[in-house]
Chains A and B, each alone.
Chain A
Amino acid sequence: MRNMSARRLLAAAAALALASGSLAACSSDSTSGSGDSGDVTPASQINFLSGWQVGDGTGNFLAAAVEAFAKVQPDITVNVETVKFDDLKVTVETESVANEMPDLITMNFTGENKPWLDDGLIADTTSYLTDWGITDKLLPGVTDAWAYNGKLGGFPYQTGSWPMWYNMDLLKAAGVSEVPTTIDALKDAATKLKANGVAALCYPGKDWGGAGFFWLIDQLYTGAADIQGIMQNGGFAASDAAQQGIDLLGDLRDSGVLIDNAAGYGYEDCANAYDQSKVAMAFFGSWSFTQISEPILKVTQLGGFPLPDGAAFDKPIAFATGGNGILMSQAAADDPAKVAAIKAFMDFLYSKDALQLWISDPGNQIAAVTSEASGPSTSTNVMLQQNATLWDVAEPATLQDLYVKSGVDITPEITWFIGTQGATAADLAPRLDALWQD
């Protein structure tokens, strides 16, 4: 991993060196639309709160973009304040209370920040996306992840997936030649893998990864409409289909398909176990494309979660995720000069070359934008290429981020369920339903 990181660092440095030139070149046409803001003189400063860390693909891209933007728009300075991604929420709320709300913020749009639209912290970007010509460029369905109460919470910039990862070397060594697409095949593969001394499926029962996995498995029988209702209002105890999904997970736990002591594993633990070939199957997001070492990526096949008999889907299922985007503060939206400056910057970020640079690092996943240059099939990264054809073999499931009631966290109950042999849907369903009481 260390050698690989060093290689990536060198690659990133090379990309950065190229970036200034390419972005500066592309910007001559990309900023030409900034005059659409009428006679308003753009503000001289844009304050950008970023969770994209310098040193990885996202942060390096932003640094290069800001530097290149400064060359073509010397009158507008983008001040980037970088904080840990996990600290973004608290930082935004604290700065808003101190009347120092940043103009732009890099974030996912989740239950954590959706209330900011109601509280007037961030702006509805619907009209900006349309008026600035961004909507036409976006991939179909990308804005779904940014919708809340009839508004859009930001500028989508990144999209991704959360599929099953299969280590084909380990599967073949155990005598399994194909990715399992049914639960029976999954169980059979697990038996063979265990006989070969390898754990079958890493379930991150300790943290959010396990909660996400639960939502995927639980909708196998319900289908989209029912699970959306349950995500919003609870109601596991009243849904036979939801309970079937829970019992399926319990069956996988008790029949040894899951790694031993799965309740103690977090997402990162599973990533490490997969990277060390201790486990043959896992459920990772596309944000882990840069996390796993190259030799393991080369033998990895992406796919969906296998279907049981009577499933509500036709193909194995996985999540299509929204990814990061850029939120705009309401304070900035209320200031025409700021809006003009932000428009210039957005024109720049959504230019073809900027997007091409964005996806050149697989850690940035896929741009949320359709353009000749930004198609994932043009990438040389093996995972991005696979990801581009993921939906040929898998069907998108309902992502919980879009529907689960704000404030509900099922993780502790999932940890309990995964760690309690013999626990059934009858045990878990009322415990889960209680979480929607708040």
Chain B
Amino acid sequence: MTTPASAPTRRPRHPARGGNGALAAFTVPSLVWYLLFMMGPLVAMFVIATLNWGSIAAHPKFAGLANFAKLLADERIGTALINTGIHLFATLPFQVLGAFMIGYFLAQRPPGHRIFRVVLFIPALISTAQLGTMFSVVLGPDGLVNGLLNLVGLGDHMRAWLADTHTALLCVILVSIWNGMGFNAVLFSARLASIDQSIYEAAELDGASHWRRLWFVAFPISLDFVSVMTMLQFLWSLFGSAALILILTEGGPGQATSTLSWLVYRFAFGVNGSPLIGYSQAIGILLFLLGVVGLVIIRRFIKQRY
């Protein structure tokens, strides 16, 4: 038996590890900031949901799980869940797949593509307040849509689009799509422009049409980006619908456009006085859970497969 001439007795400490510790110390302020201002509100949401709290100026009282019990028995929550689902499933395909198709078109750099990009991007430059005001006028009783219908002899079809149970939610959905689709298309075109042109050329040599190149070449290559965009769009639609609804319909007529996101606002700020902040946050937790579940599903089913 021989003894190794230089048997290692102890693994040498990595010279950089001590340095990492020092570097990590510099991240402490950021972590503290993150915990305070990012995690803090999240924790607060769960705490406030257990309170009976009339307004920020009132004294909150502990209510246990009463807000959650009320939530389960409240018919308005069921209606809002359905409306939220309709809003999501109606907007997402347009905001993601429709935008992807337009993005592919832009990435081909057709004549005038620069103008198209500008035109498509313009809705993203309009604030939600402006957007709501604009479409309130367009869809109002004396608005552009009714004016056009009257002009072409379809006056019998004029209606209060935003105040009609049959059309109000559809209007909110269409305005959401109008607002987001072009912006997403420009983002998709930026991603698609980074794909090596030789891949498209090879596919074209193999006889692939634009349609096949779009869905069987560009789409699989960009699936990681599509996944991110789907997640973002899902969250924007789920959490952000309240602003548009506030300006366009205030959840009405009846409960026709009431979404969970709207109810969080409606109960947090109240109408005719009397906000229910704790109940609002209980709905917020439901919304939060839906968001988490949705993200997991999107991550599970939309991911790069090569």
Residue from A97, A115, A205, A412 whose CB has the most chain B CB atoms within 10 Å: A412
In the complex the two chains form, is A206's CB within 8 Å of B57's CB?
A: no
In the complex the two chains form, is B162's CB within 8 Å of A264's CB?
A: yes
B161 interface residue per 8 A CB criterion: yes
Q: Is the interface of B mostly helix, strand, loop or mixed?
A: loop
In the complex the two chains form, is B55's CB within 8 Å of A119's CB?
A: yes
In the complex the two chains form, is A112's CB within 8 Å of B273's CB?
A: yes
In the complex the two chains form, is A416's CB within 8 Å of B271's CB?
A: no
Chain A residue at minimal CB-CB distance from B139: A264
List A contacts of B275 (CB < 8 A). Answer: 407
Per-residue 0/1 for B247-279: is the Cβ within 8 Å of any A Cβ (1 yes, 0 no)? 000111111101000000000011111111000
Per-residue 0/1 for A79-93: is the Cβ within 8 Å of any B Cβ (1 yes, 0 no)? 000000000001011
List A contacts of B252 (CB < 8 A). Answer: 411-413, 415-416
List B contacts of A92 (CB < 8 A). Answer: 57
Per-residue 0/1 for A398-436: is the Cβ within 8 Å of any B Cβ (1 yes, 0 no)? 000000101111011101101110000000000100100
Instruction: Count residues of chain B with CB under 8 A from any CB of chain A.
Output: 36
In the complex the two chains form, is B158's CB within 8 Å of A261's CB?
A: yes
In the complex the two chains form, is A116's CB within 8 Å of B141's CB?
A: no
In the complex the two chains form, is B273's CB within 8 Å of A111's CB?
A: yes
A269 interface residue per 8 A CB criterion: yes
B59 interface residue per 8 A CB criterion: yes
A114 interface residue per 8 A CB criterion: yes
In the complex the two chains form, is A416's CB within 8 Å of B141's CB?
A: no
Complex alpha-carbon distance, A253 and B219, angstroms: 53
Complex alpha-carbon distance, A178 and B110, angstroms: 68
List A contacts of B169 (CB < 8 A). Answer: none
In the complex the two chains form, is A269's CB within 8 Å of B273's CB?
A: no
Q: How far is the CB of B239 from chain A (nearest CB, A)?
A: 21
Given B75, B159, B164, B272, which contacts A110 in the complex, CB threshold below 8 Å?
Answer: B272
Per-residue 0/1 for A262-295: is the Cβ within 8 Å of any B Cβ (1 yes, 0 no)? 1111000100000000000000000000000000
List B contacts of A96 (CB < 8 A). Answer: 57
Per-residue 0/1 for A92-118: is the Cβ within 8 Å of any B Cβ (1 yes, 0 no)? 111011000000000000111111101
B56 interface residue per 8 A CB criterion: yes
A260 interface residue per 8 A CB criterion: yes
In the complex the two chains form, is A114's CB within 8 Å of B253's CB?
A: no
B103 interface residue per 8 A CB criterion: no
In the complex the two chains form, is A97's CB within 8 Å of B162's CB?
A: no
B203 interface residue per 8 A CB criterion: no
List A contacts of B276 (CB < 8 A). Answer: 407, 438
Given A407-B276, A409-B271, A419-B253, residue A263 in contact with residue B57 (CB < 8 A):
no
Mark out the residues of chain B between 225 and 259 whose CB falls within 8 Å of any chain A CB in the assembled complex: 250-256, 258
Q: How far is the CB of A256 from chain B (nearest CB, A)?
A: 14
Complex alpha-carbon distance, A347 and B59, angstroms: 34
Taking Cβ atoms with an 8 Å cutoff, the residues of B that contact A are 54-59, 75, 139-142, 146, 158-165, 250-256, 258, 269-276
Taking Cβ atoms with an 8 Å cutoff, the residues of A that contact B are 90, 92-94, 96-97, 110-116, 118-119, 121, 205-206, 259-265, 269, 404, 406-409, 411-413, 415-416, 418-420, 431, 434, 438
